[in-house]
């Protein structure tokens, strides 16, 4: 069991190795720390760091340290919920830090303090634990081990994933063998480094330099648009039994969809839609569907009743469908993982 392994490793001094590695990383990554510090200060102002109470091993509380990505006082306003776009809008830079997990870098200090390890279930806010997690069967298993800077369930699912799903993944990790955990840790570091490089290049080249400087135009949608390959959209009647129009998804972000097809509807009217993905990024190529309410904003092709491009604003019909969109259309999970 991972809990037994962790106790043994502490006895043999590996906790000190963890701290030594954390100290080494802080020194080596000091330029990155300085860069992110200045980035947060310039775009959001002070304070640059967020310090919040979390539940650690055996539910012992400690203060976690992160680069601040939310408005001041946001945690008090959202209470026992998890932050999402419905609560408050955040700057593109803050979203970039959250998506790449760069906001978690200061938790190397928590490792130095002996409060966290590199890999393990993420520490939970007490309010979230009471409201959403205490009643989940087997959830207490995560408190057998120290919390991790890199959480397995957070790598395999987006922020919107149901807590029951994340708890299942964490339980699997807690009870797995040490060799499999080490192998996963090496793979996770590689995937995180690759994602960070891609996100950085995309955000600062395509969205800033290419669009705004070279083409001298502003991007209307502040979040990068995710291209779709083979994904479709169907406009349904209210009982979901009849398709009254359909088209292809060209790209999507958390608020808008660009659609190609024949959509003979009036602007500003709301419709029930089904999104279907056949992307290779879906687990084993399986078809995944999600339902949302869509409002047609404008037709990018002035011709009526012909195939054209449309801008659609959408909203998931439920938290589960929000998760499905994040996972299989926006690809917000860092590592593909079986559900």
pLDDT at 23: 94
Reported as type and span, the H/E element at residue 317 is none
Q: What is the pLDDT along the chain (339 residues), one digit of tens a residue?
A: 444 444 444 443 347 888 899 999 999 999 999 999 999 999 888 899 999 999 999 999 999 999 998 877 666 655 545 555 544 567 778 878 887 788 999 999 999 999 998 888 889 999 889 988 889 988 988 898 889 888 888 888 887 888 888 888 888 888 776 655 677 777 777 877 777 777 667 666 555 555 555 554 444 445 568 888 889 999 998 777 789 889 999 999 888 999 998 887 777 788 899 999 876 554 455 788 999 999 988 665 545 556 888 889 999 999 899 999 998 998 888 776 544
pLDDT at 82: 55
Angle at alpha carbon of residue 219, lines to 213 and 222, rounded to 5° = 120
Separation between Cα atoms, residue 127 and residue 104, nearest integer Å: 20
pLDDT at 194: 77
Q: Write down all domains in the chain, each with its CATH number in brackets.
A: 2-206 (no CATH), 226-328 (2.40.10.220)
Tell me, yes or no, if the pTM score tops 0.75.
no
Report how far residue 332's alpha carbon sits from residue 339's, in angstroms, rounded to the nearest whole number. 15
β-pair type (288-299, 270-277): antiparallel
CA gap 89, 83 in Å, rounded: 10
Per-residue pLDDT at 128: 87
Nearest to 166 by CA among 142, 190, 145: 142
Alpha carbon distance, N-terminus to C-terminus of the chain: 22
């Amino acid at each position: 069991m991972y809990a037994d392994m962790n106790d043994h490793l502490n006895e043999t001094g590996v906790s000190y190795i963890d701290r030594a590695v954390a100290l080494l990383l802080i020194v080596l990554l000091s330029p990155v720390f300085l860069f992110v510090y200045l980035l947060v200060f310039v775009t959001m102002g002070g304070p640059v760091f967020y310090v919040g109470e979390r539940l650690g091993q055996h539910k012992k509380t400690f203060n976690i340290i992160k680069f601040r990505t939310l408005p001041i006082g946001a945690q008090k306003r959202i209470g026992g919920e998890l932050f999402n776009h419905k609560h408050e809008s955040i700057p593109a830079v803050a979203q970039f830090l959250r998506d790449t997990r760069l906001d978690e870098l200061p938790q190397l200090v928590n490792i130095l303090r002996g409060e966290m390890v590199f890999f393990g279930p993420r520490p939970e806010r007490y309010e979230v634990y009471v409201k959403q997690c205490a009643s989940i069967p087997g959830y207490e298993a995560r408190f057998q081990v120290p919390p991790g800077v890199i959480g397995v369930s957070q790598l395999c699912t987006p922020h919107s994933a149901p807590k029951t799903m994340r708890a299942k993944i964490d339980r699997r990790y807690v009870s797995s063998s040490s060799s499999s955990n080490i192998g996963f840790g090496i793979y996770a570091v590689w995937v995180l480094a690759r994602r960070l490089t891609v996100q950085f290049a995309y955000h600062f080249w395509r969205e800033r330099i290419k669009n705004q400087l070279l083409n001298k135009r502003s991007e209307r949608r502040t979040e990068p648009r995710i291209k779709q390959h083979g994904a479709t959209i169907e406009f349904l009647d209210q009982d979901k039994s009849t398709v009254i129009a359909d088209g292809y998804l060209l790209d999507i972000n958390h608020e808008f969809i660009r659609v190609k097809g024949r959509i003979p509807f009036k602007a500003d009217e709301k419709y029930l839609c089904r999104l279907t993905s056949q992307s290779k990024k879906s687990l084993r190529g399986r078809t995944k569907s999600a339902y949302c309410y869509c409002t047609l904003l404008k037709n990018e092709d002035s011709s009526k009743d012909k195939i054209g491009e449309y801008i659609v604003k959408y909203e998931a019909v439920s938290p589960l469908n929000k998760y499905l969109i994040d996972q299989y259309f926006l690809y917000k999970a860092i590592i593909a993982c079986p559900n």
